[in-house]
A = this chain, B = another copy of it.
Amino acid sequence: MISKNQLKLLRALGQKKQRKAHGLFLVEGEKNVLELVDTSLVVKQVFATDDFLQKHASELSQYDCIEASLEELTKASSLVSNNAAVAIVEIPNVQAPSAEGMIIALDGVSDPGNLGTIIRIADWYGIKHIVASSDCADPYNPKTIRATMGSFGRVQVTLLDLPRYLNEASIPVYGAFLEGESVHSTDFSEQGILLMGSESHGVRPEAEQYVTDKITIPSFGGAESLNVAMATGIIMDNYRRQHS
């Protein structure tokens, strides 16, 4: 059973301010909770149905598990759908990454669903680091975590002063624009930064000044733009074609 205080904490962690104050975030959904086992993240508590706890007793034995009904869990969840499991996890200390393969940099990507999808596609292509301007969506927002489909534990996201980070990086910065060199003919260096802007504002001038290579996804029809997560996936596929 979820106590009154536990319920209060679970609900509080739906808000960014509270996540920051407690240094904790929520991992919701069966698949995501099970993914925790393979990460170095510190799990404080797991709330889950009896069914789920029994089915995964061995994986979950290392955690402090609390049994709860599906109704309780749904009530505690920040998300609409039913939830057989929710974990409270410590927000890890992350450092801005130094050069290691391709790093994805996000400028003003404020939608948590987009950020989560980008974390998932980064994980697909084996990208370990995302850096993001401080006005990007919170990587620990429950909507972000949900959209990663379990990839949150394998990709590190660091919110930082993006222009400063780009200024100090001494590797190529590939910026995605509607006009630039086609990614079909771009010669990607193995180490670099792929800079993606938001759908509505693109890469902003403060970050654009550090772009060394403007690149674009060639268009063959009438659509004006692509979703930022989609564009990131397509560009990463073009990069991986050259560096696997």
Contacts and interface: CB of A to CB of B under 8 A. Distances in A.
Interface stretch (A46-54, A188-196, A228-236): A228-236
Contact of A124 (B123, B184, B223, B233): B223
A16 B223 CA distance: 26
Given A230-B230, A230-B233, A222 B123 contact: yes
B233 A220 contact: no
Contacts of A17: none
A221 interface: yes
A226 B184 contact: no
Copies of this protein in the complex: 2
Given A230-B230, A233-B234, A234-B233, A124 B154 contact: no
B117 A223 contact: no
Please list the 5 inter-chain residue pairs (A to B) with the smallest Cβ-Cβ separation, ordered nearest first: A126-B220, A126-B221, A123-B223, A124-B223, A123-B221
15 contacts: A117-B227, A120-B227, A123-B222, A123-B223, A124-B217, A124-B219, A125-B219, A125-B221, A149-B223, A149-B224, A151-B223, A154-B221, A226-B233, A233-B233, A233-B234
Given A151-B221, A229-B230, 16 more contacts: A117-B230, A121-B226, A121-B230, A123-B222, A124-B217, A124-B219, A124-B223, A126-B219, A154-B221, A154-B223, A184-B240, A218-B240, A218-B244, A220-B244, A230-B233, A233-B233
